[in-house]
Structure 1
């Protein structure tokens, strides 16, 4: 199954956090890392206007035979291993790993919504996703190039490439 994972971090050396997560995802059973976007810097989204460090974000493409639920379990385990603490929604974090797309499936369970609920509103997801898969269609939402045209690219800056190869 072709899947896209969003990675984000704004604590404890975010660049290293993203690289660690990418390496650990590549080591998941029955999973092959296919592509990595560049790393982009974006302003933090907050619910309470509390100041936060800027985020570093990227998207990776994997091929996996893990079910969506097992992939979610694995990603949440990696988040825990990298010190993720779930205190509040949209709070600062060492690492955030989101299943953006799981093949062409639409999934809505108590634990998982795919495509990701906010995919069409987040330039820090759409731009890296476009970089690695420009012809991609978002199940139930259409071609994301149009979505990309509808989001602002302000406050989003390409800052780095991932270390190593996909």
Structure 2
């Protein structure tokens, strides 16, 4: 199954944490990373603290949706992720954005991610690696970009992202 994972961090060495998350994703049995966007610096949205470093990874996975979520939580825990309150600053945040064409709504997992079309830090890197992607139930993702044009986002130079 093709899936997309959002990667974000704004505590500690956020750039290194984001890059390490990709490396850890590559080591999870049942996950093959097929593309990774560049890294983007973004202002916090509905959050506080320092700027975030964000990216999106496209994966092929044999994991069921909740097993994928559990694998992402394990990677977050390896980075010392704490959840003292909703949208708290974080060492690492991994979210399942899309899982094939599935629509999932359970107490622990909602796919497509419910706010993905409202966030430049998701849409811009997602469209970098999947320019024709559609969001199940909503249609093409690209037309949502004008709605997030007021959110600050800056693609880091390749030398800054390694």
Q: Give me the TM-score of the superposition, normalised by structure 1.
A: 0.92
Please state whether the residue corresponding to 1:150 is helix, strand or coil.
helix
Identify the residue that residue 125 of structure 2 maps to in structure 1.
Answer: 128
Instruction: Measure, in 1, the Cα distance between the counterparts of 2:132 and 2:28.
Output: 27
Q: Quick one: distance in 2 between partners of 1:102 and 1:33?
A: 14
Q: Which residue of 1 aligns with 2:52?
A: 55
Alignment counterpart, residue 78 of structure 2, candidates 73, 81, 101 = 81
Describe the SS at the equivalent of 2:107.
coil
Match of 2:44 in 1: 44
Distance in 2 of aligned mates of 1:79 and 1:128:
20
Matched, 1:96 2:93: yes
- Name the structure 2 match of 1:65: 62
Please tell me the root mean square deviation across aligned C-alpha atoms, in Å: 1.2
* Structure 1 Cα separation of the partners of residues 157 and 88 of structure 2: 24
CA distance in 2, matches of 1:92, 1:101: 23
CA distance in 2, matches of 1:80, 1:31: 18
Quick one: structure 1 residues 54 and 107, their matched pair in 2 at CA, closer, same or farther if it must change by over 3 Å? same
> Which structure shows the higher helix fraction?
2
CA distance 1:88–1:160, change in 2 (3 Å):
farther
Runs (5+) with no aligned partner, structure 2 = none
Question: Does the aligned pair in 2 maintain the 1:137–1:143 contact within 8 Å?
Answer: yes
Q: Does 1:25 align with 2:62?
A: no
Equivalence for 1:108 = 105
